[in-house]
Structures are given as structure tokens and as C-alpha cells.
């Protein structure tokens, strides 16, 4: 049997939690305001406290440290109706053990409290965070209310208070970069630089010099000494986007930099000390890449110290309302916020979003423009990019989308060859593969009639003839 204090001004909650814990054999005291809570801490010596955030006009979170001290450093579980990132961060900063979003599932409440009672002390990583939480700029707005996103918020809040490397995974457009920014914005480095680099966008030859810098004359084109991004991010955070695309040599250098907290500019021999927090992101399955040998095992483990996995939009359909409203509110500088027909939200929920939140964001902006200030209705949504059987989508649209997807898969595989420089003629091979398929189909369709095939393809006869020769389908 343990002593539990519940602080909540809502009688129904006080009552149901009292029932729950008494049934569990605990000794429960309910306080409806902070004064009663402070008195109960002194007299009752609770071993765990459940604390509401909004207590009338008072802020339960602000009172958390005092209550906890009065009770002798016991775990405090926050209860809130506001499951936003900001509350999560404040709760963690204030030293909360965990937090529960109302309305909550009593089974979950019981589990959290059992865990709190078992540990009797908050985790070290969140203790003694830096007080007032003053920030210098508006943190990136990451919205969501579904349980999966609540979990993400909690992880952000936890990891922001540390310097651990973070690996953010998730499909395209799920908010990986936003999460990285949120971690930076809520951590001690928030006044320092947040530097972003996309490893897939850098040419293989320049990645090293981009990341680590170079000295003048170290290669043709190095006309002056230049610091790399590690040095630029010194004191702050370096966001390594598309880490899965880092070539093997770069993976090795990254590992060295992470382990030694030093970087060496290309062409220089003495390393320089850097103090950089690393957040990496990828939409590839790094575990798979590691198994295939394209991603270093040691670097994988190093980056994966604190993984955060973002759900696809399909896995958080409950967040569609809040996301749509968020994107519309953000446009309020452009014009009044339009009303939303319920059918609009139904249509959004009923449709596939391969581009996830980013695609939704663009669709909402599009709809707001098309609706010209009127109520948003399903017909204001842009046509889906892929597949679907919506009227208005031609077979050619579907085929193009399928081709784009297939080419995406193919080029992702080809990139591995590119990284090892095993295929210097990648472009030529890609183009000829596609051309050959098109030309053969056109010829088959026209029964071998070259003039007709050329017309179908939009080519003149001489060009088609040249292509047939080049592709070796001359006869
Ligand atoms: N939870 C969210 N709340 C609000 N906006 C979001 C959320 N998630 C994503 N967005 C918005 O969606 C867009 C895409 O997000 P972001 O660039 O972080 O995705 P990503 O996972 O890095 O995508 P990619 O893999 O394509 O690089 C951004 O404009 C971002 O503001
Ligand atoms: Mg991104």
C-alpha cells in the first residue's frame, strides 16, 4: 500500500482516481487546489503525486517543484487536457515523472502510477533543467493530438534536455526536420546555430569538405580556407538529413567526428575541437541498409542512441482536423481563416497521402486559394498525385505516377552503385532503359510501322531510326 495525492479541481476526476487507487489498495488523498495540496504534502507524505495543470486560475506545473520538495522529492505525474508539445516540454523541465493526457484511460493511469511508485525518483536526464525556459525564437510548431504524436512530443521533451545524438525516422513529409528543430529549440543550445545539411543533395566529391571544411589549395577549386558545417554549428546543432545516403568514406569520417568531438579540414592534419549536437534523419530503413552492408554498423549504433520514429499520416488520421486547422490558421496573415465543411475533412481522411503532412499542407493551401474565402469543400482539394480512380484522372496520369514511383525505387537502388562509383554511366543507362521500353511498345503497337511509331512517340523518323540503331533494335 502506498500513499497517493491527487490534485485536481474537477470533482469527477478526483472521485474516479480515488476509486481506482483505493481499489488497488492504496491510501488516497484528493486536493482541489494548491493550498490543500501543499498541506496534504506535509501531513500525508504522499509517495506519488498526480497533478492537474490547470487548477482554476492557477498553474499546476509552476507549483510542481514546490510540491515535490514539500513531499520529499517524490515522482509527480502531470495530468493535462492540453497534449501539446509546449506542455510536454514544460512538464519535463519542471521535473515531471510522466504526463497523462485527459481524457485518460484508467488502466494507463494505474500503470503510470505503479511505475512511478516503483521508481520513486524522476529520471536523471530531466532533473534540474534550466529553469525559466526563456527562448529566443518561436519554436517550430509541431501539432498533433493522437497517442503516437503524444509519444513523439514526450520523446522530444526528454531528449531536448540532453546532448544525445538523435535519429529521426519516418516517411517523406512526416515532419522529421520539424522534430529536429523542436529538439534544438527546446534544448540548452537554442540560442546557438541550428545548421541543416542534406547528404543526398551533396555531390559525393564535396561532402567531406562541406562537413569538415578545407584548406586553400587542398583540391582544385579550394581557393580559400573554409570551415565546414561542423565548425559552423559549433555550440549548436547539426541536422544531417538523409543520413542513409552518406557515402562510405563520409560515414567513416562522421563516426570519427562523433567519437572524438573533433574534425579535420580536408588538406589539414591537425584536428579542431567542435561541440556539436547531432540529429540525423532518414526515410530509409537504416537497419536494412546496415544488414546489406551499405550503412556502417558502428555509426548506426552511435546515431541510434535515441531514436524517434514518426508515424505516417495514415497512422494519425485523428490528427487531420488539427493539422488542417493549423495550416489554415497559419495563413491568417494572407486573409481570413475560411470555414471548413465536414465533408471536406471526410474527403481528406478518405484519401491516400503518400506525401504525408507536407502533401496535406500543400493541399490545404491550394484549397484555401481555390475556395476564395468561402467554405472549404471536397471539390476544392487538388487532384491526387498518384493512382486513385477519381474522375478527371487520365490513364496517362496514373501511368506517369506509376513510372515516377518505379523510377524512384530504381534510382534509390542505383544510388548505392553511385556511391561506390561502380557505375559511371548511370544516366545513360537510365535513359536507354526507358527509351527502349517506350520504343519497343510503340513498334509493337503499330505492327512495326516506323512512321506511325515515330508519330506516336512525338519523334521524327530520322530521330527514331537513330535511336533504334543506338539501342540495337535495328532490324
Ligand atoms: N506535426 C506537424 N505539425 C505541423 N506541421 C507539420 C507537422 N509535420 C510536418 N509538418 C509540415 O510538413 C512539412 C514537411 O515537414 P518536414 O520537412 O519536417 O518533413 P520531413 O519528414 O523532413 O520530410 P522529407 O523526408 O521529405 O525531408 C513542413 O512544411 C512541416 O512544417
Ligand atoms: Mg526533411
- Residue ranges with strand state E in 102-184: 166-169
Question: Cβ(357) to ligand 1 under 6 A?
Answer: yes
Distance between CA 142 and CA 162 in Å, rounded?
A: 20
Region label for 73, one of left (φ > 0), alpha (ψ between -120 and 50) or beta (otherwise): left
Q: How many helices (H) and strands (E) does the chain have?
A: 19, 16
Question: Cβ(178) to ligand 1 under 6 A?
Answer: yes
Question: Cβ(142) to ligand 1 under 6 A?
Answer: yes
Around ion ligand 2, which residues have CB less than 5 A away? 176-177
| Residue 22, CA distances (Å) to 4, 90, 305 in order | 10, 30, 39
User: Any idea which ligand is nearest the CA of 180?
Assistant: 1
Fold exhibited by the domain 313-380: Helicase, Ruva Protein; domain 3 (1.10.8)
| DSSP for residue 340 | B
The residue extents of the domains of the chain are 3-126, 147-309, 313-380, 395-471
Per residue in 142-180, pLDDT (tens digit) is 999 898 999 999 999 999 999 999 999 999 999 999 999
Q: Which residues of 355-379 are buried (b: 16+ CB within 10 A; e: fewer)?
A: bbbebbbebbbebbeebeeeebbee
Question: Cβ(170) to ligand 1 under 6 A?
Answer: yes
Residue closest by Cα to atom 29 of ligand 1: 358
Between vectors from CA 380 to CA 374 and to CA 385, what angle results, nearest 5°?
155
Per-residue pLDDT of the chain (475 residues), as tens digits, is 889 999 999 888 888 899 888 888 888 999 999 999 998 988 888 999 999 998 888 889 899 988 888 887 889 999 988 778 888 888 888 888 888 888 888 888 888 888 888 765 333 323 223 333 222 334 558 999 898 999 999 999 999 999 999 999 999 999 999 999 999 999 999 999 999 999 988 877 788 999 999 999 888 778 888 899 999 999 999 999 999 989 888 999 999 999 999 999 999 999 999 999 999 999 988 888 888 899 999 999 999 999 999 999 999 999 999 999 999 988 776 678 899 999 999 999 999 999 999 999 989 988 888 888 889 999 999 887 654 444 445 556 556 655 665 666 666 666 666 666 666 677 777 788 888 888 888 888 888 888 888 888 888 888 889 888 888 886 5
Task: Tell me yes or no: is domain 395-471 CATH 2.40.160.40.
Answer: no
User: Any idea which ligand is nearest the CA of 144?
Assistant: 1
Fold exhibited by the domain 3-126: Rossmann fold (3.40.50)
Domains 3-126 and 147-309 alike in fold:
yes
**Cα 7 to chain center, whole Å?**
34
Of ligand 1's listed atoms, the one at least distance from the Cα of 360 is 12
Per residue in 413-446, pLDDT (tens digit) is 666 666 666 666 777 777 888 888 888 888 888 8
Question: Cβ(299) to ligand 1 under 6 A?
Answer: no
Q: Which superfamily does CATH assign the domain made up of 147-309 to?
A: P-loop containing nucleotide triphosphate hydrolases (3.40.50.300)
Where do we find the cell 544488414? 291
Amino acid at each position: 500500500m502506498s500513499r497517493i495525492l491527487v490534485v485536481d479541481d474537477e470533482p469527477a476526476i478526483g472521485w474516479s482516481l480515488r476509486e481506482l487507487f483505493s481499489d488497488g489498495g492504496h491510501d488516497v488523498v484528493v486536493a482541489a487546489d494548491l493550498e490543500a495540496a501543499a498541506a496534504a504534502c506535509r501531513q500525508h507524505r504522499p509517495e506519488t503525486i498526480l497533478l492537474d495543470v490547470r487548477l482554476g486560475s492557477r498553474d499546476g506545473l509552476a507549483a510542481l517543484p514546490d510540491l515535490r520538495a514539500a513531499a520529499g522529492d517524490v515522482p509527480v505525474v502531470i495530468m493535462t487536457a492540453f497534449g501539446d508539445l509546449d506542455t510536454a516540454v514544460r512538464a519535463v523541465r519542471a521535473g515531471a515523472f510522466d504526463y497523462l493526457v485527459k481524457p485518460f484511460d484508467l488502466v494507463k493511469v494505474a500503470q503510470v502510477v505503479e511505475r512511478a511508485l516503483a521508481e520513486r525518483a524522476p529520471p536523471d536526464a530531466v532533473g534540474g533543467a534550466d529553469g525559466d525556459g526563456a527562448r529566443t525564437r518561436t519554436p517550430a510548431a509541431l501539432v498533433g493530438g493522437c497517442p503516437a504524436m503524444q509519444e513523439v512530443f514526450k520523446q522530444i521533451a526528454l531528449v531536448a534536455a540532453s546532448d544525445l545524438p538523435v535519429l529521426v525516422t519516418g516517411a517523406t513529409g512526416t515532419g522529421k526536420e520539424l522534430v529536429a528543430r523542436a529538439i534544438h529549440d527546446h534544448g540548452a543550445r537554442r540560442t546557438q546555430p541550428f545548421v541543416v545539411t542534406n547528404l543526398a543533395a551533396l555531390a559525393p566529391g564535396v561532402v567531406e569538405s562541406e562537413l569538415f571544411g578545407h584548406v586553400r589549395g587542398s583540391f582544385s577549386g579550394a581557393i580559400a580556407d573554409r570551415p565546414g558545417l561542423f565548425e559552423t554549428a559549433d555550440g549548436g546543432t547539426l541536422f544531417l538529413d538523409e543520413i542513409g545516403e552518406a557515402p562510405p568514406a563520409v560515414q567513416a569520417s562522421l563516426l570519427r567526428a562523433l567519437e572524438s568531438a573533433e574534425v579535420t579540414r580536408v588538406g589539414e592534419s591537425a584536428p579542431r575541437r567542435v561541440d556539436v549536437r547531432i540529429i540525423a534523419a532518414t526515410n530509409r530503413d537504416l537497419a536494412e541498409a546496415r544488414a546489406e552492408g551499405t550503412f556502417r554498423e558502428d555509426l548506426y549504433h552511435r546515431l541510434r542512441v535515441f531514436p524517434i520514429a514518426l508515424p505516417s499520416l495514415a497512422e494519425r488520421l485523428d490528427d487531420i482536423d488539427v493539422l488542417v486547422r493549423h495550416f489554415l490558421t497559419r495563413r491568417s496573415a494572407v486573409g481570413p481563416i475560411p470555414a471548413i465543411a465536414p465533408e471536406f475533412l471526410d474527403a481528406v481522411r478518405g484519401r491516400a497521402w503518400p506525401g504525408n503532412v507536407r502533401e496535406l499542407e500543400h493541399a490545404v493551401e491550394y484549397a484555401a486559394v481555390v475556395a476564395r474565402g468561402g467554405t472549404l469543400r471536397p471539390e476544392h482539394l487538388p487532384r491526387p498525385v498518384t493512382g486513385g480512380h477519381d474522375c478527371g484522372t487520365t490513364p496517362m496520369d496514373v501511368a506517369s505516377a506509376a513510372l515516377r514511383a518505379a523510377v524512384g525505387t530504381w534510382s534509390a537502388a542505383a544510388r548505392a552503385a553511385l556511391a561506390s562509383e561502380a557505375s559511371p554511366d548511370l544516366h545513360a543507362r537510365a535513359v536507354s532503359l526507358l527509351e527502349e521500353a517506350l520504343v519497343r511498345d510503340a513498334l509493337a503497337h503499330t505492327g512495326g510501322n516506323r512512321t506511325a511509331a515515330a508519330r506516336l512517340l512525338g519523334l521524327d523518323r530520322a530521330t527514331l531510326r537513330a535511336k533504334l540503331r543506338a539501342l540495337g533494335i535495328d532490324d
